[in-house]
């Protein structure tokens, strides 16, 4: 093929490679989405929503058929758990009331724990799966902002990577991202604070690092968000302690945390907006 690398084409190819490198460099920066990107994303999101509904109906039908086979066993188990649940429920109610009363006594209205849930449905996934991300049908117009926590009823699954006007991209906790740090603590007699940094793909566990070396941690203890990171509310469940090991340098400990939520099988999520931020915003506006 002698005419394959004609001069004009070769130049075109080189120019496009330069543009490619420049664009990759541009998109690697820590940035907000530009408006053309947001527009494209929202438009595709709309088309996806149209196609997604019937596809999910069909898939849901097969899942239902599969579920029916296990119904008897599950029902038995659930009935046993129901009584426990009632006892727990009354306890929670009593504690809630007491908490409210004590708060009123202290005149402390805000808590890091309170949040406003934004319900969202998954409308797409990144098909090339180099980064595990999902696309949900709620965006800035509904109050979603960058870095907000995303949970399912089981626990934390990720955070909002980018929010455009009507859709947003959720980065799952299993993504390999050094910047993805979450302030968390191990629940016990004494709460032990650390940072969730990274994910071990082989063991399918999150890594909770920077724990004091003399901290006493046992297996099966719960790990929750601490709310100190600035964006996430307090006490969102993350997982359970799987194993405690000394850190690379032996100065601190590292905990393998088994996530409570399934990162892969997600249909509906809740995007969590801290109430304390809302009240702060209102106050600023009032000024």
Residues that bind other proteins (CB under 8 A): 1, 4, 13, 16-17, 19-24, 26-28, 33, 37, 40-41, 44-45, 47-48, 51-52, 55-56, 58-59, 122, 124-131, 133, 135, 161-162, 169, 176, 204, 262, 264-265
Q: How far, rounded to the nearest angstrom, does the alpha carbon of residue 258 sit from its chain's CA centroid?
A: 15
Residue 123 CB neighbour total at 10 angstroms: 22
Among residues 213 and 264, whose Cβ is nearest to other proteins?
264
Q: In angstroms, what is the C-alpha Rg of the chain?
A: 23
Q: Least distance from C-beta 24 to other proteins, angstroms?
A: 5
Q: What are phi and psi of 226, to 5 degrees?
A: -95, -20
Looking at the Cβ atoms of 79 and 179, the one nearer to other proteins is 179
**Three-state secondary structure call for residue 42:** helix
CB of residue 137 to other proteins, shortest distance in Å: 13
In the complex, what is the shortest distance from the CB of residue 10 to other proteins, in angstroms, rounded to a whole number?
13
Q: Least distance in Å: CB of 45 to other proteins?
A: 7
Nearest CA among 219, 193, 200, 206 for reference residue 156? 206
**Element of type H or E holding 160:** strand 155-163
Nearer to other proteins among residue 168 and residue 226 (C-beta): 168
Query: Which residue's CB is nearer to other proteins, number 32 or number 98?
Result: 32
In the complex, minimum distance from the CB of residue 68 to other proteins, in angstroms, rounded to a whole number: 16
- Counting DSSP H helices and E strands in the chain, the numbers are 3, 12
Distance CA 254, CA 240 (A): 13
Whichever of 37 and 140 has its CB closer to other proteins, that residue is 37
Instruction: Supply 175's token pair.
Output: 């993504």
CB of 181 vs other proteins, minimal distance in Å: 17
Q: Are strands 252-259 and 155-163 parallel, antiparallel or unpaired?
A: unpaired
CA separation for the pair 27, 21 (Å, rounded): 10
CA pair distance 110, 112, nearest whole angstrom = 7
Instruction: Taking the CA atoms of 201, 128, 58 and 120 in sequence, report the sign of the dihedral they define.
Output: positive
At its nearest, how many Å lie between other proteins and the CB of residue 42?
9
Q: Which CB, 3 or 107, lies closer to other proteins?
A: 3
- End-to-end alpha carbon distance in the chain: 72
Query: Tokens 């455009």, residue?
Result: 164
Nearer to other proteins, 147 or 277 (CB): 147
Query: What token pair was written down for 20?
Result: 């490619």
| Residue number, 42 or 247, with CB nearest to other proteins | 42
The minimum distance between CB 26 and other proteins, in angstroms, equals 7
């Amino acid at each position: 093929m002698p005419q394959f690398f004609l001069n004009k084409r070769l130049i075109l190819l080189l120019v496009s490679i330069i543009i490619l490198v420049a664009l990759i460099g541009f998109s690697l920066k820590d940035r907000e989405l530009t408006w053309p990107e947001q527009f494209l994303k929202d438009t595709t999101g709309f088309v996806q929503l149209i196609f997604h509904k019937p596809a999910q109906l069909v898939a849901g039908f097969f899942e239902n058929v599969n579920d029916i086979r296990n119904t008897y066993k599950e029902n038995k188990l659930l009935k046993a758990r129901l009584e426990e649940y009632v006892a727990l429920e009354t306890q929670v109610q009593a504690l809630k009331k007491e908490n409210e009363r004590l708060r009123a006594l202290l005149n402390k209205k805000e808590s890091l724990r309170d949040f406003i849930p934004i319900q969202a449905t998954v409308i797409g996934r990144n098909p090339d799966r180099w980064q595990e991300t999902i696309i949900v049908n709620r965006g800035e117009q509904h109050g979603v902002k960058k870095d907000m926590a995303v949970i399912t009823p089981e626990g934390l699954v990720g955070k909002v990577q980018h929010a455009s006007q009507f859709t947003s991209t959720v980065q799952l906790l299993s993504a390999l991202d050094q910047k993805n740090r979450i302030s968390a603590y191990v629940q016990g007699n004494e709460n032990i604070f650390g940072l969730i940094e990274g994910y071990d793909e082989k063991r399918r566990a999150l890594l909770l690092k920077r724990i004091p070396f003399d901290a006493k941690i046992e297996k099966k203890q719960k790990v929750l968000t601490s709310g100190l990171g600035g964006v996430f509310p307090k006490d969102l469940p993350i997982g359970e302690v799987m194993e405690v090991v000394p850190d690379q340098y032996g100065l601190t400990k590292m905990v393998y945390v088994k996530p409570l939520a399934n990162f892969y099988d997600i249909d509906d999520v809740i995007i969590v907006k801290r109430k304390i931020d809302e009240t702060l915003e209102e106050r600023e506006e009032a000024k």
